[in-house]
Amino acid sequence: MKKQIVVLSGAGMSEESGISTFRDNNGLWNSYDVMQVAHIDSWYVNQNLILQFYNDRRRQLASVSPNIGHQIIAELEKDFNVVVITQNIDNLHERAGTSHIIHLHGELTKACSSKDRNKRHVIDIGYNDILPGDLSVDGSQLRPFIVWFGEDVPEIEKAFIAISKADIIIVVGTSMRVYPAASLIHYAHADAVIYLIDPAEINVSIINDVEVIRKKASEGLAFLKKQFYKKYF
Ligand code: APR
């Protein structure tokens, strides 16, 4: 029976592809006010600013590629069952070939209705802009298919179930500062093996019994891949 690996990835996973994180020194939240561009309340007052913020990030995404870390995770599917639960809105896990991905905070290459939270009328827009006046089928202004602060996280149930079934959990590139994503680790079953990959010192007191690998994602994942093939094959 193949071992079940769950990867919980954050912005650090895409840092080596050239996409900045949020809370590092050169992070996005140092140049933008998160409340202005990533909070639902702001959507009602700052739509053009928000549309431009995500248009800029979508254009950048068109010009970057998955890094070795994304590729290693995709390659693990040869001998393991792999589910990636990502806080990232980029499509780099998909482009590296990972088949099972749960996007907790939405997807940059999709847009949806801004009227109805239930019938989201989600559409693929690739790397195109969303402009003021671009309408959803329900006549509302199209918005980025992103989970903003102040909104619920529709995929969280699916993520709880996935992580509760994991034999191996790899937490990579996340500061574990945003909930409910950060609480997922508490749903690991008692004998799941947990690894955390991050070049910085992360407060892991919320996770009992975790092996910390103080490396960047690509290096840490290459190290772990070697470990797994020694240990399980
Ligand atoms: N490899 C691995 N980890 C890295 C790398 C790298 N090359 N570079 C940076 N990191 C680590 C940082 O040390 C930090 O711990 O990645 C983490 C990034 O943390 P954040 O910037 O807080 O990103 P993240 O945890 O994904 O943020 C969660 O916050 O603003 C919201 O919705 C946004 O999804 C995001 C959520």
Read out DSSP for 32-97? S-HHHHSBHHHHTT-HHHHHHHHHHHHHHHHT----HHHHHHHHGGGTSEEEEEE---SSHHHHHT
63-75 confidence digits (pLDDT tens): 999 999 999 999 9
Pair 87, 122 in one domain: no
For residue 208, the enclosing domain spans 1-19+66-105+153-233
Is the CB of 26 within 6 Å of ligand 1?
no
The residue whose C-alpha atom lies closest to atom 10 belonging to ligand 1 is 12
What residues are labeled active site?
A: 105
The CATH number that applies at residue 4 is 3.40.50.1220
Pair 181, 231 in one domain: yes
Is the CB of 218 within 6 Å of ligand 1?
no
124-145 confidence digits (pLDDT tens): 999 999 999 999 999 999 999 9
Specify the pTM: 0.97
Pair 55, 12 in one domain: no
Q: What is the mean pLDDT of residues 98-124?
A: 93
Indicate whether 62 pLDDT > 90. yes
CB atoms inside a 10 Å sphere around CB 11: 22
DSSP string over 115-158: S-SSS---EE-TT----TT-B-TTSSBPEEEE--BTS--TTHHH
- Ligand 1 mean position to 12 CA, how many Å? 4
Give the pLDDT score at 89: 98
Is the CB of 87 within 6 Å of ligand 1?
yes
Is the CB of 12 within 6 Å of ligand 1?
yes
Give the pLDDT score at 203: 81
- Ligand 1 mean position to 10 CA, how many Å? 5
Percent of the chain with pLDDT over 90: 88
Q: Distance between CA atoms of 23 and 32, rounded to whole angstroms? A: 11
